[in-house]
């Protein structure tokens, strides 16, 4: 446990990727062999069943630290992380424990189904035998939610370096189906479990954002253009009679989309499609807000199936007749993809994402202007001779998004950030004018520099109405230009509409609060795209 706590501290205190990879390599060289698979599972988001509810954990922590609940809540607002708040607020430990990471994890797993009183004894005893840093880790083990800025790719690179294995092989291996309790570190790295697993997906090939004009990319004839869809990136796998749907978040989402299950009988074995899960109604791609009604639901009712029917636009073929196609150029993969899709009885639900034909960059730029009319975010540019890379590689795939919408707003509430910005007011709520009133339209936190955040923070501290809790009402004085990707009707918001992906484009120090946009401006925009 101590070695792992040390790793976490190293990962958190460096912001350089190379340092983090070095820390991970050191860890995997030195750590207990039985701990390692658990650490990989944790970093790749494989969560064990949560043995104790957050409410109970919080209750016991409050009891043990002998403070009122409101004070615990205040502290939590300041820290921004429940596990950490608890680790700091508890009285100092009374004994020392040398239990290993995997032993703690096994202890926790054994708590499932036990009486609350038993759970409490075990957990309080653990708290009393761990110092702050280890307590924090222990609390994270309970929640299973361990996000500390290690991407899958970073982890894979570290494991590749440590073991001298090819990184794509390790990516396959750790994305497959395995349990930390049932595999050794060496077997996991060697990938002994993946060949027998029908479900394993390929790492997605990702695109970089195109910042400049595409004319710098060379000859248009070397490129394939497609619409960039605003849905969920998905990989559909059919092997040995079984169908699997993976999302970009490396989650298996097969059950969520029954509309696509017919592929189990129609796709040939050994087929892997890459594409976008979308809501498609009468052949038209719907806005993301429609698709959203279908995401992360445990059960789906008739109305949802009817209101937000699912479709899949496919744009790549990664496996064909059981053969890995990723080393083939895009042009070849596309031909085989078209062939595969043409074999489907119904091409309304699962369809080819169309290729946008163009003869010069100016023409493509013009076509791109029409993106919004078909609920697309812009254009994807893929080199016809490009291979299917694991992750992001500069130069072969580009996303050329349309410029966002913008609206000028005034800040009316500020809240202290969580995570790395817990001491500063970093989360803001913005309003537009509606007659004599200000009406909230967006919350955003990203988009300012650290220096600007500090400046806003000072403003908030000077101009805040003091009260408990994390939110401060501030004088409506600071004007911000908010960029957003879409707008939809919303009954949940008082404004009657909701912005998609709002973020701060810039601080308009040149504007006064009476120069901001009105709610009518936004309503007009909403009407224009319905």
Partner 1 sequence: MALIKFTSKGIYCAQGDFYIDPWKPVNYAVTTHGHSDHVKWGNKAYLCHDLTKSILNHRLGPDLNIQTLPYHKQITINGVKLSLFPAGHVIGSAQVRLEYKGEVCVISGDYKVEYDGISIPFEPVKCHTFVSESTFGLPIYKWQPQHQIFDQIKNWVSGNKDKNKTSVLMAYSLGKAQRLIKGLDGYADIYVHSSIANLNEGFVHAGVNLPETIRITPETKKEELQKGIVIVPPALSDGKWIKTLTNPATAVCSGWMQVRAGRRWQSADAGFALSDHADWPGLLSAIKATEAEKVFITHGFTATFSKYLNEIGIESEEVKTQYENEEEEEEKS
Which spans of this chain sit near partner 1 (rule: CB under 8 A)? 12-15, 65, 67-68, 70-72, 74-75, 78-81, 84-85, 88-89, 92, 136, 417-424, 466-468
Distance CA 79, CA 73 (A): 10
Closer Cβ to partner 1, 64 or 365, answer by number: 64
CB within 8 Å of 460: residues ≥ 6 apart: 414, 425, 472, 474
Burial of 59 (0-12, 13-18, 19+ CB in 10 A): middle
**Beta pairing partners, 437:** 434
Token digits of residue 353: 């994402």
Shortest Cβ 74–partner 1 spacing (Å): 5
Distance CA 89, CA 68 (A): 12
The helix/strand/coil state of 313 is strand
Helix axes of 54-65 and 132-143: crossing angle, nearest 10 degrees? 160
Closer Cβ to partner 1, 27 or 424, answer by number: 424
Place of tokens 């930390």: 180
Shortest Cβ 5–partner 1 spacing (Å): 12
Closer Cβ to partner 1, 87 or 429, answer by number: 87
Token digits of residue 525: 């925009």
Closer Cβ to partner 1, 67 or 384, answer by number: 67
Token digits of residue 167: 């990184």
Picking from 354, 175, 379, 192, the residue whose alpha carbon sits closest to that of residue 272 is: 175
Shortest Cβ 419–partner 1 spacing (Å): 6
Closer Cβ to partner 1, 92 or 182, answer by number: 92
Shortest Cβ 147–partner 1 spacing (Å): 12
Closer Cβ to partner 1, 359 or 449, answer by number: 449
Shortest Cβ 423–partner 1 spacing (Å): 6
Distance CA 191, CA 300 (A): 36
Closer Cβ to partner 1, 421 or 511, answer by number: 421
Shortest Cβ 202–partner 1 spacing (Å): 33
Distance CA 223, CA 331 (A): 10
The β-bridge relationship of strands 284-285 and 310-320 is: unpaired
Shortest Cβ 104–partner 1 spacing (Å): 20
> How many Å is the Cα radius of gyration of the chain?
26
């Amino acid at each position: 446990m101590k070695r792992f706590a040390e790793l976490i501290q190293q990962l958190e205190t460096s912001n350089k990727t190379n340092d983090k990879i070095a820390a991970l390599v050191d860890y995997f060289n030195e750590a207990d062999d039985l701990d390692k698979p658990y650490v990989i599972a944790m970093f790749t988001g494989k969560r064990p069943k949560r043995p104790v509810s957050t409410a109970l954990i919080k209750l016991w922590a409050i009891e043990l630290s002998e403070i009122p609940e409101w004070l615990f809540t205040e502290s939590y607002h300041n820290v921004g992380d429940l596990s950490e708040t608890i680790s700091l607020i508890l009285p100092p430990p009374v004994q020392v424990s040398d239990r290993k990471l995997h032993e703690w994890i096994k202890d926790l797993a054994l708590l499932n189904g036990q009486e609350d009183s038993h759970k409490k004894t075990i957990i309080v005893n653990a708290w009393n035998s761990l110092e702050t840093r280890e307590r924090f880790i222990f609390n994270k083990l309970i929640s299973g939610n361990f996000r500390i800025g290690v991407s899958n790719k970073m982890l894979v690179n570290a494991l590749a370096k440590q073991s001298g294995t090819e990184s794509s092989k390790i990516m396959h291996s750790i994305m497959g189906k395995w349990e930390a309790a049932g595999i050794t570190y060496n077997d996991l790295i060697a990938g002994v479990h993946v060949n027998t697993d029908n479900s394993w997906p390929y790492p997605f090939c990702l695109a970089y954002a195109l910042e400049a004009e595409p004319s710098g990319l060379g000859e248009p004839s070397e490129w394939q253009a497609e619409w960039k869809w605003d849905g969920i990136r998905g990989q559909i796998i059919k092997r040995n009679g079984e169908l699997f749907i993976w999302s970009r978040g490396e989650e298996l989402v097969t059950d969520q989309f029954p509309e696509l299950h017919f592929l189990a009988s129609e796709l040939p074995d050994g087929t892997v499609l890459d594409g976008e899960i979308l809501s498609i109604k009468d052949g038209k791609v719907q806005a993301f807000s429609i698709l959203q009604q279908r995401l992360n639901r445990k059960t789906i009712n008739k109305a949802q199936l009817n209101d937000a029917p699912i479709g899949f636009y496919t744009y790549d073929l990664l496996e064909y007749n059981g053969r890995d196609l990723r080393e083939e150029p895009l042009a070849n993969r596309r031909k085989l993809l078209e062939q595969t899709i043409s074999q489907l009885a119904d091409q309304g639900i699962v369809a080819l994402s169309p290729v946008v034909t163009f003869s010069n960059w100016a023409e493509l730029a013009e076509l791109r202007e029409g993106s919004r009319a078909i609920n697309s975010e812009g254009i994807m540019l893929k080199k016809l001779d490009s291979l299917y890379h694991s992750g992001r590689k500069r130069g072969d795939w580009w996303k050329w998004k349309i410029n966002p919408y913008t609206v000028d707003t005034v800040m009316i509430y500020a809240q202290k950030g969580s995570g790395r910005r817990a001491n500063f007011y970093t989360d803001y709520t913005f309003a537009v004018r509606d007659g004599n009133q200000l009406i909230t339209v967006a919350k955003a936190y990203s988009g300012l520099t650290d220096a600007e955040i500090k400046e806003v923070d000072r403003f908030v501290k000077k101009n805040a109405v003091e009260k408990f809790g994390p939110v401060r009402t501030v004088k409506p004085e600071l004007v911000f230009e908010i960029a957003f990707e879409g707008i939809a009707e919303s009954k949940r918001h008082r404004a009657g509409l909701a912005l998609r992906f709002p973020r701060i484009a810039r601080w308009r120090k040149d504007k006064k609060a009476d120069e901001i946009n009105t709610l009518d401006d936004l309503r007009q925009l909403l009407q224009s795209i319905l």
